C-alpha cells in the first residue's frame, strides 16, 4: 500500500502486513491545498485509488498511473452538476471492471506518480501528479505493482 501525506509532502510505502517499508519526499500539484475537482485546477486528488499502469518511457523518467477519478469523485461531481450522467456511468463501469477510468472529463485525469521534470523544477510544480526524484521513483518501482492501493490524504 502507498500512503501519500500531502501536507507533509511524503509518500510512505507499507508491506502487505502493514509495516512501514520506505518513505520518500514528494512534490505535488501547483495548487496542493485542496482535493482535485476539475481539469486544470493544479490540484492533487485526495481519496482511495489504485495503481493502474506503469510507463517506463514516461517523459518524467518513469510513471505509475492511478485510477483517478474514483467513483466517489464522480458521485460528488454528479451531485454538484460538474459532470453529466453518462460521464459518471463511464467512470463507475471502468472501476467495476478494473480498467482505467476516462481521463478526458471535466474532472481531469492523467494523475501519475512519476519522476522528475526534464526542466528540473522545485517545490510543488506538477499539474496534479505526485513527483519524486528519479532515484526515488526507481526505488519505488521495485516496491509496488499494478493494483496496489494508493491512499492520498490531506
- Per-residue pLDDT of 80-137, as tens digits, reads 999 999 999 999 999 999 899 999 999 999 999 999 988 867 789 999 999 999 999 9
Confidence of residue 150 (pLDDT cuts 50, 70, 90): very high
The residue extents of the domains of the chain are 2-68+110-153
Query: Mean pLDDT over residues 28-40, rounded?
Result: 92
- What pLDDT is stored for residue 136 in this prediction? 98
For the cut 80, the answer to whether the pLDDT of residue 31 exceeds it is yes
CATH 2.40.440.10, domain 2-68+110-153, yes or no: yes
Three-class secondary structure of residue 145 per DSSP = coil
Q: What is the pLDDT of residues 46-83, one digit of tens each?
A: 999 999 999 999 999 999 999 999 999 999 999 999 99
Residue 10's pLDDT is what?
98
Dig out the grid coordinates for 66 from the structure.
Answer: 492511478
Work out the angle between the directed axes of helices 71-79 and 85-97 (0-180°, nearest 10): 170
d(C-alpha 24, C-alpha 153), whole Å: 15
pLDDT computed for residue 83 by the predictor = 97
Pick the closest to residue 131 from 120, 145, 119, 115 (CA basis): 115
**pTM score of the predicted model:** 0.93
Q: Kind and range of the H or E element at 24?
A: strand 20-25
Amino acid at each position: 500500500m502507498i500512503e501519500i501525506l500531502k501536507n507533509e509532502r511524503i509518500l510512505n510505502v507499507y508491506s502487505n502486513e502493514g509495516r512501514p517499508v520506505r518513505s520518500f519526499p514528494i512534490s505535488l500539484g501547483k495548487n496542493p491545498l485542496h482535493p482535485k475537482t476539475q481539469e486544470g485546477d493544479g490540484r492533487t486528488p485526495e481519496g482511495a485509488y489504485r495503481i493502474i499502469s506503469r510507463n517506463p518511457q514516461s517523459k518524467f523518467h518513469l510513471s505509475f498511473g492511478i485510477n483517478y477519478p474514483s467513483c466517489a469523485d464522480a458521485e460528488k461531481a454528479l451531485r454538484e452538476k460538474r459532470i453529466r450522467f453518462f460521464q459518471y456511468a463511464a467512470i463507475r463501469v471502468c472501476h467495476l471492471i478494473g480498467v482505467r477510468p476516462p481521463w478526458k472529463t471535466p474532472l481531469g485525469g492523467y494523475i501519475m506518480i512519476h519522476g522528475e521534470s526534464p526542466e528540473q523544477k522545485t517545490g510543488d510544480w506538477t499539474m496534479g501528479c505526485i513527483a519524486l526524484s528519479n532515484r526515488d521513483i526507481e526505488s519505488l518501482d521495485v516496491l509496488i505493482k499494478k493494483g496496489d492501493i494508493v491512499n492520498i490524504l490531506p
